[in-house]
Amino acid sequence: MNKKILVNDIMQKKYTYYLTEPIGKNFNKEFKPELTPKQMLKMGVFGGKYMTDCKNEFPKDWFKNAKLCHKKHDPNLNYFKINASKTLKYWMEKMWIHPDDPRGWFQWYCRYYLGRRHEDDKRQIKRWKAMKRHIAQIKINCPKRLIECRKKQRQALLHWAYDSEKL
């Protein structure tokens, strides 16, 4: 397989990576996201601002019906109509950004989903697993399937490929 991907967008110039696994397959046994990148973009994540200049890197169908806004972050585009994001600057200060994925976890996930395997996979999967604490909080504090309860936590879970509609 080993398909070569060349990235030229606002945040990366001449960055190359290789797809070594089939799309959406052969994930780490501990990594079981409930949503695909395409589903997340369609539902509404990151105020629509995320990845508006990356359409050449990812499958075109991911962007069909995606809720995007090239000009600004608009929380009304989020599924829960609430801002659950920290700034990129904040993420950089926390040292959560790997230089190969300057947009953060979701960029890593999109590339992982496509079939890239990377030195940062273990750390990112550990971070994904840590989000389960929000699931516990929703289960403790909200009636089952009442999606209006704890909308900020639910939006945050959506950003990490968890489907809180099932809770």
Residues 6+ apart with CB under 8 A from 140: none
The residues facing 8 across adjacent strands are 13
3 state SS of 7: strand
DSSP-derived secondary structure letter, 18: E
pLDDT tens-digit readout, 12-50: 999 999 999 999 999 999 999 999 999 999 999 999 988
- For residue 49, give the nearest of 78, 6, 26, 21 by alpha carbon: 78
Is residue 159 within a helix (H) or strand (E), and if so which, with residue range? helix 151-159
Phi, psi dihedrals of residue 94, rounded to the nearest 5°:
-80, -5
Structure tokens at 20: 């070594």
Q: How many CA atoms lie within 13 A of 32 on its CB side?
A: 3
Residues 115-166 have pLDDT tens digits of: 999 999 999 999 999 999 999 999 999 998 899 999 999 999 999 999 988 8
What is the model's pLDDT at position 149?
96
Listed by start position, the domains of the chain span 34-130
Would you state the pLDDT for residue 163? Answer: 95
Give the pLDDT confidence score for residue 57 in this predicted structure.
96
Q: Given a cut of 70, is residue 1 above it in pLDDT? A: no
55-92 tens-digit pLDDT: 899 999 999 999 999 889 899 999 999 999 888 889 88
**pLDDT tier, 95 (very low <50, low <70, confident <90, very high otherwise):** confident
